[in-house]
Structure formats: structure tokens, C-alpha cells
């Protein structure tokens, strides 16, 4: 090691992290925000859609009402798009001397964590809404008074995606890059 002074203990993990550019972390965060959200939406739609189409063979009246379950799953993908767009507007270019400054490192980590939060919260929300939507379609086919009651459960499930979006946006406000020297 060439003449660097270590204050206190610091592990090699810290050294490895400090050498990764914050733009790497930001880009991965933005990609995860949209990619994994869309994965969750697609997964939910295929779970709901296959049950809905199968149940509609014997009970065609359920098709138009139960499309609302598909719309709840789709909303999850829209949350991911919105947050990914917000996160990418938080990216700023800093001069090369400042890329590894503590403030830019922190901004990169904030965007990364924000993307992870939104992506994975939307993934589980899409799965949850898809599973409940499928049982909603099946029970609606049996007894049409059940549709609205199971829809209440689906609304609870779709709130999870909203939690992810709220925390993601609050955390992205922490992504402040160092000001350019005048």
C-alpha cells in the first residue's frame, strides 16, 4: 500500500466499495426500479389472466368486471416507470475530481437503494394482487356477490406498491451531488 494512512479500522470491503463509481450504483438502481417492477406486474397479470379466462368459459359474465384486477397489476408497472424517470432526473454530472467525493458516493447509494426499494416492493405487490385477483375471478364465477368483497382485499394488496413508491421518492431527495466549483 502506497503511503495511505488509515484512521481506525476499515475493512477491505470499504476499500472495494469506495472504488466503485456512484454512477454504477445509480444506473443499477434505475434499471432495477423499472425492470423488477415490470416483472412483478407481468407475473401478476399472467396469474390473474389465466384464471380469469379459464373461469369465464362457464361464466362469461365475469370478464369485464374482473379486468379491474389486471388494471391493479398494471398500475404497479406504472409506479416503476414513474420512479425510474424521477431517479434519472436526479443524475448530475460532476467533475472528474469529485466523482469519489463522499457526497457523490452518498448520492449514488441513495439512488441505488431507492431503485431497489421500488423494484422489489412492486414485485411482491404485483404477485400479491395477481394471486388475489385470480381467486377473485374464480369466486366471482361461483357467486357474484363475492366480487366486491374480495376486491377490498385486493385494494389492501395494492397499497404495498404505493409504500414502495413513497419511500423511494423520499429517499431520492437525499441524492444531492456536490456543487460544481465555479
Partner 1 sequence: MPSTFSGDETAPFFGFLGAAAALVFSCMGAAYGTAKSGVGVASMGVMRPELVMKSIVPVVMAGVLGIYGLIIAVIISTGINPKAKSYYLFDGYAHLSSGLACGLAGLSAGMAIGIVGDAGVRHHSFVFKIGMLGITSMETDLIALISCTQT
CB 76 within 8 A of CB 41: yes
Grid cell 398494471 is found at 74
Q: H or E segment at 22? A: helix 22-55
Whichever of 12 and 89 has its CB closer to partner 1, that residue is 12
> Which residue from 59, 74, 131, 178 is in contact with partner 1, where contact means CB under 8 A?
131
> Which residue from 64, 89, 97, 145 is in contact with partner 1, where contact means CB under 8 A?
145
Window 86 to 125, contacts with partner 1 (CB under 8 A): 100, 102-103, 105-106, 109-110, 112-114, 116-117, 120-121, 124-125
Q: What is the Cα–Cα distance from 106 to 110, expressed in whole angstroms?
A: 6
> Counting contacts by CB under 8 A, is residue 28 touching partner 1?
no
Grid cell 368483497 is found at 149
Q: What is the Cα–Cα distance from 85 to 34, expressed in whole angstroms?
A: 9
User: What is the 3-state secondary structure of 136-178?
Assistant: HHHHHHHCCCHHHHHHHHHHHHHHHHHHHHHHHHHHHCCCCCC
| Region of 5-13, 59-67, 68-76, 83-91 interacting with partner 1 (CB under 8 A) | 5-13
Whichever of 112 and 177 has its CB closer to partner 1, that residue is 112
> Which residue from 93, 156, 179, 180 is in contact with partner 1, where contact means CB under 8 A?
156
DSSP conformational letter for 98 = G
* Interface residues toward partner 1, by CB under 8 A: 3-11, 13-15, 17-19, 100, 102-103, 105-106, 109-110, 112-114, 116-117, 120-121, 124-125, 127-128, 131-132, 135-136, 138-139, 142-143, 145-146, 149-150, 152-154, 156-157, 159-160, 163-164, 166-167, 170-171, 174
Amino acid at each position: 500500500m502506497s503511503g495511505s494512512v488509515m484512521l481506525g479500522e476499515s475493512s477491505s470491503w470499504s476499500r472495494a466499495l469506495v472504488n466503485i463509481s456512484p454512477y454504477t450504483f445509480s444506473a443499477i438502481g434505475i434499471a432495477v426500479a423499472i425492470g423488477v417492477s415490470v416483472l412483478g406486474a407481468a407475473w401478476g397479470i399472467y396469474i390473474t389472466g389465466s384464471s380469469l379466462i379459464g373461469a369465464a368459459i362457464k361464466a362469461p359474465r365475469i370478464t369485464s368486471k374482473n379486468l379491474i384486477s389486471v388494471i391493479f397489476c398494471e398500475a404497479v408497472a406504472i409506479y416503476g416507470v414513474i420512479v425510474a424517470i424521477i431517479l434519472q432526473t436526479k443524475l448530475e454530472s460532476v467533475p472528474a475530481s469529485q466523482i469519489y467525493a463522499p457526497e457523490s458516493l452518498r448520492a449514488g447509494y441513495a439512488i441505488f437503494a431507492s431503485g431497489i426499494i421500488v423494484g422489489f416492493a412492486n414485485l411482491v405487490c404485483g404477485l400479491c394482487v395477481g394471486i388475489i385477483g385470480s381467486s377473485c375471478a374464480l369466486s366471482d364465477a361461483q357467486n357474484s356477490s363475492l366480487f366486491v368483497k374480495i376486491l377490498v382485499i385486493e385494494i389492501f394488496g395494492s397499497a404495498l406498491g404505493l409504500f414502495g413508491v413513497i419511500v423511494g421518492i423520499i429517499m431520492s431527495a437525499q441524492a444531492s451531488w456536490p456543487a460544481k466549483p465555479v
